Structure 1
Amino acid sequence: MLLLRLLWQVPIGLIILVIILFSMSGYAISFNSRRTKDVAYVPATSPDFNAERHLLDIYTPRSKSATARPVVVFIHGGAWNSGSKNIYFIIGRRLAKQGVVAVVINYRLAPAVEVPAMADDCARAVLWTSQHIAEYGGDPNRIFVMGHSAGGGLAALVATDDQLFAKFGSAKNPIKGAILDDPGGLDMFDYLSKMQYPGDDSYLVPFGKKPDVWHAVSPIYYLRTDSPPVLMYAGEKTYPGIASSTRRFNERLQALGIKHEFTVLSGKEHIPMVTQLFWKNNIIYRDLLKFVGAKS
């Protein structure tokens, strides 16, 4: 199906257009938050340091709080080969305005690296956050990950694969929960093993050609009874691959008794699932604020 070939690729321009249209809204909400931009989460002395992709932005509420605030690390989408934290500044602002310390990250992209390295980057960003977010008023014991599309798959992966943190010297996974917005890549082993649709071979660039790697970066295989809770959303009119994998992911969450909620949003296509986050009163924010225990 041609739609699957276009998955996560064409809509980046549409997202940028919507952001431009809502720039005035972004300026308005900026008065309620502070942005600390382009913080390196990988040491510049590291052999693989990338001066553009190993950066994150931190959004903090301007209002005072007697207690440390919950933290949401947002991972952008873009088919594992495009996207930038700079596109999603409104999400950072919206979260901060509603009492959350938001961390919006970059990570390396294909074809420069494959998905395992992207997952490493996301884990390193979360680790940096756990070590430094108290300096920005965030609670290192309440770190949640969030992502849309390819970023949703990466968020699910870092939330469930503890070995991603062990390889960087962390005794435990610091993530307390995941918010998955129309996530892609939940089971790329199944998807790439079938190769059902024209253009599926394009995903061999970010995922490589080895089935064991496809399996190793598919979050569905890491779910266990003690996995952190999940909020997951899918658009009623999203791409068939996402519709199928989110249903199966939900079934696995149910079978293991993992605390979760799965909501299919009526009439929503893939891109509106993220552009709705430019407005503060959507269902995802309402659920998220309760999920993380935010107080404005």
Structure 2
Amino acid sequence: MRRFILLTPVALLLAAIVVILATEYVVARPSRRAKDVAYVPASAPDFDRERHILDVYSPKKKAATAAGCPVVLFIHGGSWTSGSKNIYTFIGRRLAKQGVVAVLINYRLAPPVHVPEQAADCARALAWTVQNIKQYGGDPARVFVMGHSAGGGLAALLAIDDALLAAHGLPQNPVRGAIMDDPAGLDMYSYLKEMKYEGDQQYLVPFGNDPAVWKQQSPIYKIRPGIPPFLFYIGGETYPSISGSSGRFRDRLKAIGQPAPYTIIPGRHHIPMVLQLYWKDNIIYQGLLKMVGA
């Protein structure tokens, strides 16, 4: 199947997650979890008690420095229409076990909101993280973003869209690096203009019908000197649109003098690219830990 995707086989993902969660409780979990913390004030007119929440996973061992541990904010995928932080508890625990404070977030889904509102939610979660993570053992000066699938595109926006962050309480971009796990949405402008795969109309639900919005929400058009470093992991058997847009993103980074480590993992399809994060010695964690300095 050569369609764009994302998490179209949701049943496959959920079945695999059930198996993972069933064994999670027999695995040592040296972490503390603060669950369902609101990152938007309940008094806000658009507050969503199910989507404007996040979990924080902190190492039980004290950080080696007084400043605290590095922080990774993880954004889930799901075609911008599905998904939950609760599916990815194993990522929070694996990161905490390796000396990283992990922040796993929910954000509002389409419909009824669209990608600009989702990006705004992610920016608000990032602002909350910078302002509050110290009390969870994290270093607000070492915040990184990570995402899989649609979450990868949203994470890329946080890394390079300073105007988005400034509109939501962050006059200075705090992101020190971005880890892309088979990211989608890096260039939805080109993708939605071409509409060359069966079922592509479904992505008009989260992105709408305005090409100007498609471009505004496509991180590839915001690349410029001075943005934080990117780290790419791409499945060797992933969807052509993901490998293609990721390759073009990497090439644009190179054009501004910013090489981006780009690893293709042979034999991996799109969903296994996130499921492999169940194992703490996974190649993605190896690169991530090096980037964040854990």
Q: Shift in Å at residue 94 of structure 1?
A: 0.4
Is contact 2:7–2:77 with CA below 8 Å preserved after alignment? Answer: no
Distance in 2 between residues matched to 1:233 and 1:125, nearest whole Å? 24
2:123 and 2:165 in contact (8 A); partners too: yes
Q: Partner residue of 1:44?
A: 42
Q: Is the 8 A contact 1:95 1:101 kept in 2?
A: yes
Partner of 1:142: 142
Write the distance in 1 (CA, Å) between the matches of 2:114 and 2:211.
Answer: 14
- AA aligned opposite 2:14: I
Superposition pairs of residues 37-76 of structure 1, within 5 angstroms = 37-67=35-65, 68-76=68-76
Amino acid corresponding to residue 62 of structure 1 in structure 2? K
Q: Which residue number corresponds to residue 255 of structure 1?
A: 255
Q: SS of the counterpart of 2:25?
A: helix
Q: Give the aligned partner of residue 114 of structure 2.
A: 114
* 1:30–1:93 contact (8 Å) kept in structure 2: no
Note the residue ranges of structure 2 that are not aligned, 5 or more in a row.
none
Check whether the contact 1:228–1:259 (CA below 8 A) recurs between aligned residues.
Answer: no
Distance 2:20 2:204 in 1: 35
C-alpha deviation, 1:171, in angstroms: 1.4
Q: 1:98 & 1:27 partners in 2: Cα distance?
A: 18
So what's the TM-score if we normalise by structure 1? Answer: 0.96
Would the aligned equivalents of 1:224 and 1:256 in 2 still touch at CA under 8 Å? yes
Q: Counterpart in 2 of 1:157?
A: 157
2:29 alignment counterpart: 31
Query: Matches of residues 1-296 of structure 1 in structure 2 within 5 Å?
Result: 3-4=2-3, 7-23=5-21, 25-29=23-27, 31-67=29-65, 68-294=68-294
| Identical counterparts, % of pairs | 59
SS in 1 for 2:264: strand
Give the CA deviation at 1:169.
Answer: 3.2
| Secondary structure of 2:50 counterpart | coil
Give, as a single letter, the amino acid of the residue that structure 2 aligns with 1:220. Answer: I
CA distance in 2, matches of 1:72, 1:277: 14
The residue type equivalent to 2:29 in the other structure is: F
Which consecutive segments of 4 or more residues in structure 1 shift more than 3 A? 28-31
Aligned counterparts of 2:196 and 2:8: Cα–Cα separation in 1? 20
Matched positions, count:
292
**What is the alpha-carbon distance in structure 1 between the residues aligned to residue 232 and residue 69 of structure 2?**
22
Structure 2: distance between partners of 1:198 and 1:20: 30
Q: Is the 8 A contact 1:188 1:214 kept in 2?
A: yes
Contact 1:29-1:93 within 8 A present in 2 as well = no
Question: What is the CA-CA distance between 1:201 and the residue it aligns to?
Answer: 1.2
Q: Greater CA deviation, 82-91 or 254-263?
A: 254-263
CA RMSD of aligned residues (A): 1.2
Does the aligned pair in 2 maintain the 1:74–1:145 contact within 8 Å?
yes
Partners of 1:119 and 1:291 lie apart in 2 by 24
Structure 2 length normalisation: TM-score? Answer: 0.96
SS at match of 1:94: helix
For 1:29 and 1:37, how far apart are their aligned partners in 2?
A: 19
User: Alpha-carbon deviations, 1:103-161, whole Å to 9, x = none?
Assistant: 00000000110000000000100000000000000000000000000000110111110
Does the 8 Å CA contact 2:238/2:269 hold for their aligned counterparts? yes
8 Å Cα contact 2:250/2:259 also seen in 1? no
